[in-house]
Amino acid sequence: MLLKRLAAASLFTGLMGSAAFAANCGPEGQSIRILASDFPAIHAVVGAAEANCAGSAEEFSANHTTEARQIMNAALTPNPAEYTSVILANATLTQLMNDGLVRPLNDLVEKYKDSIPPNVLITIDGNVMAVAFMANSQHLFSRKDILEQAGVDSIPASYEEVLEAAEKIRAAGIMEHPIAMNLQTGWNVGEVFNMIYLGHGGEFFAPGSAEPSINNEQGIATLETMKALAEYAHPDHLTHASNETQGLWESGQAALAVMWGSRGAPILDDEGSTEEVTSNTVLSAAPTVGGGSIPAATLWWDGISIASNVSDEEAEATFAALISGLNPEMVAENNDDAVWLLPGFEPGPAAAGVAGTVQGGARPYPMIPQIGLLHAALGSELTDFLKGGESAEQALSDVETAYRTSAKEAGFLK
């Protein structure tokens, strides 16, 4: 609607840069270059920024790529940087901050505070490093028809109940492998460990240091939970990431799944699945585990950052343009594409899982400089345990030694 109104305005009045009247776009004639991941919610934000402020900028370009994480450090290192802004998340902010490639936004936030919604500033030691606009986390997807059929009368709230329900479904002969999880070797299996470990109340590092601290009771309990879940997962689970688990779900081959919130809308829409599956899919908070009180999940946000190695004018123009994109009209038009942290958002059924997980007090994915190295070590060393060739203690000690080796090389440990 906004787009149409703006187009009409510029058409009839012939005013130059009508968009600039609608939104505060900061200094004019600057170059705005954005690097971002490739999914609908981020296209929406960048698209809205472009509609508002491309007219008053000399250049407005956006590179949406799934490889954003791989190229961002290299692209922001030269001066001037290749991009003026990266749309990033918890983990990628640390990755850029480790090399000092994003700038503190305090004065920009002060200047544009009227357009910035409350509670979205990512502050580290008093410096605003990013402005978040959407949330994401893993949570539970359940098929209520199959649960009823198997005699489970409520949606499972803990992993213990998930396992119990899975056993009932299997025993009733409905499905041999009712659970779907992203257990692909590498980043995904590491992330499953992270969320269940946080659910057990674990800490990844000794406080204030880079020494790993996962080889403990919570770590072992986490691995036991993962193995129990894998027993009920499709035999190919070590190759399953989001696309595969979504496929299993949409084809009706799973009854309980822990998947990303961002998969909620695509699963509930009328494409790629049957009425039977979509109408019986219930999204709920991530399960708790081991008697813990918080959902076992990692909370993620996506937000705006501004590169260090660009001129102050370019930085301001980019910031103003992107902030102008975070308006209620954009949210209204793309309501179901994300769990927006912005005013105007009306949580629909697709947002129920993430909302429940956030309200349950799940912990955010840690923003610790060396977490990427530990995550990578988890990703490559845990599969031996899941395959059954190794004890939990051995797997965790392998993770710690693998992490120590790479952390020494990266300079985090002596």
Q: Rounded to 5 degrees, what angle do the CA atoms 149, 260, 224 make?
A: 70
Instruction: Find the shortest distance in angstroms from Cβ 1 to other proteins.
Output: 27
Number of residues lying near other proteins (CB under 8 A): 70
**Residue whose CB is less far from other proteins, 143 or 177:** 177
**Residue 53 Ramachandran class (φ > 0 left, ψ -120 to 50 alpha, else beta):** alpha
Alpha-helical (H) ranges within 54-186 are: 68-76, 90-97, 106-111, 144-149, 159-171
Of 123-131, 211-219, 275-283, 329-337, the segment contacting other proteins by CB under 8 A is 123-131
Near other proteins by CB under 8 A: residue from 78, 114, 125, 275: 125
Interaction residues for other proteins, span 2-61 (CB under 8 A): none
From candidates 110, 269, 346, 409, binder to other proteins by CB under 8 A: 409
Nearest distance, CB of residue 94 and other proteins, angstroms: 8
In the chain, count H helices and then E strands: 19, 12
Q: Residue 19 or residue 87: which is nearer to other proteins going by CB?
A: 87
CB neighbour list of residue 247: distance below 8 Å, 6 or more residues apart: none
Closer residue to other proteins in complex, CB, 115/239? 239
Residues sharing a CB contact under 8 Å with residue 386, sequence separation 6 or more, in sequence order:
183, 189, 226, 227, 230, 238
Confirm if 102 and 109 have CB atoms less than 8 A apart.
no
- Binding characters for other proteins, 217-246, by CB under 8 A (x = yes): -----------------xxx-xx-------
DSSP-derived secondary structure letter, 365? P
Contact call for residue 319 and other proteins (CB under 8 A):
no
Q: How many CB atoms lie within 10 A of CB 87?
A: 25
What distance in Å separates the CA atoms of residue 321 and residue 45, rounded to the nearest whole number? 10
Q: x-or-dash pattern for other proteins, window 59-98, by CB under 8 A? A: ----------xx--x-----------------xx--x-xx
| Nearer of residues 5 and 387 to other proteins, judged by Cβ | 387
Among positions 34, 48, 122, 198, the unique one binding other proteins when judged by CB under 8 A: 122
